Amino acid sequence: MKILLCIGCLTTGCSIPETKVYVCDSKNAIRYHYKATCRGLSNCRHAIISLSLKEARNRGKTLCKWED
Ligand SMILES: [Zn+2]
């Protein structure tokens, strides 16, 4: 039996919208950014990819120092 329905979903929504962040798709990139236009990304020589905040943290990224 695996019937786990969240009744609250109907009113409040179970999933909080994921915050999207941007990271430079480089092994050396350690930061995530809220804005794709952030100056911290301007010197990225790789693709800029969009991740959920959770995913970015799972990858060991920390918030860009240009943002707060
Ligand atoms: Zn940034």
How many angstroms is it from 17 CA to the middle of ligand 1?
A: 21
Q: Is the pLDDT of residue 48 over 60?
A: yes
Across the range 16-44, mean pLDDT stands at 92
Higher pLDDT, 23 or 11: 23
CA–CA distance, 44 with 47 (Å, rounded to integer) = 7
In a domain, 29, yes or no: yes
Q: How many domains does the chain have?
A: 1
Confidence at residue 15, expressed as pLDDT on a 0 to 100 scale: 64
In a domain, 44, yes or no: yes
Structure-derived torsion over alpha carbons of residues 40, 44, 63, 22, reported in degrees to the nearest 10: 110
Asked if 51 and 31 count as a contact pair (C-beta separation under 8 A), the reply is no
In a domain, 5, yes or no: no
Place of tokens 């240009």: 66
In a domain, 4, yes or no: no
How many angstroms is it from 60 CA to the middle of ligand 1?
A: 15
29: containing domain:
13-62
In a domain, 7, yes or no: no
Q: What is the distance, to the nearest Å, from the Cα of residue 6 to the centroid of all Cα atoms in its chain?
A: 25
How many angstroms is it from 11 CA to the middle of ligand 1?
A: 34
In a domain, 8, yes or no: no
- Bridge-partner residues for 45, per DSSP? none
